[in-house]
Amino acid sequence: MHIVVCIKQVPDTSDVKINPETNTLIREGVVSIINPFDENAVEAALVLKEKLGAKVTVMTMGPPQAESALRETIALGVDDVVLLSDRAFAGSDTWATSYALGKGIAHLEERPDLILFGKQAIDGDTAQVGPGVAEFLNLPIITYVRKVEVEGQLAKVERVFEDGYERMEAELPLVLTVLKEMNVPRMASLRGRMKAKKAEIKKWTAAEIGADPENTGLAGSPTKVVKIFSPPKKVGGIKIEGTAALDAARTVVGKLKEQKVI
């Protein structure tokens, strides 16, 4: 069994400060991390590897420094990593990213049985790349997964909704995007860390994976960003300064009725 996990290196947003004048992120000094949901995807792959003896490959598309994210996953115990890195990929939107990753996966020697993604990246929050790749590879996809088991060629999956979850079964090969509640990512092992430092990282260019220049990078991105702005801060609101909790609650109920909310 071969499991591929796609990850993204993102700025640690828990660490990001906003420049109050320009309202933009101050990126200096912000450390890069593996997108947290992707860590859950890697963990899910490693758990399956332990159970079923699978091979795990991690792939990322990104600038050369994304290599450090791949090394981190080697320290966690993945078998192989691939970095798709090329100037031609610069400026990719979710469509072009999905295209490139799809090409990269198709270029792997061993066909994957399972392809895992985090539910979304914390810097863009689109949740589109997993489904995009599934589409390019013409594979079935289940999103928002909190649990997966594999028996033979069958995956048993729990997919979460706002108000519940559904149990699904699907045949491999299959694409999944996973939630945080799926697992607790392991810590890197000491020896894994040493191995990671020396590991050879496969680097593939757009040409090597046979990506059409028309479809990659800025040129291949149908999304046009017209304007970036911070949403206006929420202002106002009413503070109910009642002494007794009961009075305060009554006032709230009154207001809600007024607004026809209840």
* Contact positions vs another protein (CB under 8 A): 12, 31, 33, 72, 75, 77, 184-194, 197
In this complex, which beta carbon is closest to another protein, that of residue 43 or of residue 93? 43
Which residues does residue 26 pair with via DSSP β-bridges, in sequence order? 17
Q: Is 170 left (phi over 0), alpha (psi -120 to 50) or beta?
A: beta
In this complex, which beta carbon is closest to another protein, that of residue 41 or of residue 84? 41
- Distance CA(77)–CA(189), nearest Å, equals 8
The structure tokens 């890195």 sit at 85
Q: Closest separation between CB of residue 43 and another protein, Å?
A: 9
Q: Buried b vs exposed e over 182-212: b needs ≥16 C-beta within 10 Å?
A: bbebeebeeebeeebeebebeebebeebebe
Q: Closest separation between CB of residue 11 and another protein, Å?
A: 13
Q: Closest separation between CB of residue 185 and another protein, Å?
A: 7
Q: Closest separation between CB of residue 193 and another protein, Å?
A: 5
In this complex, which beta carbon is closest to another protein, that of residue 187 or of residue 219? 187
In this complex, which beta carbon is closest to another protein, that of residue 90 or of residue 194? 194
Which residues does residue 215 pair with via DSSP β-bridges, in sequence order? none
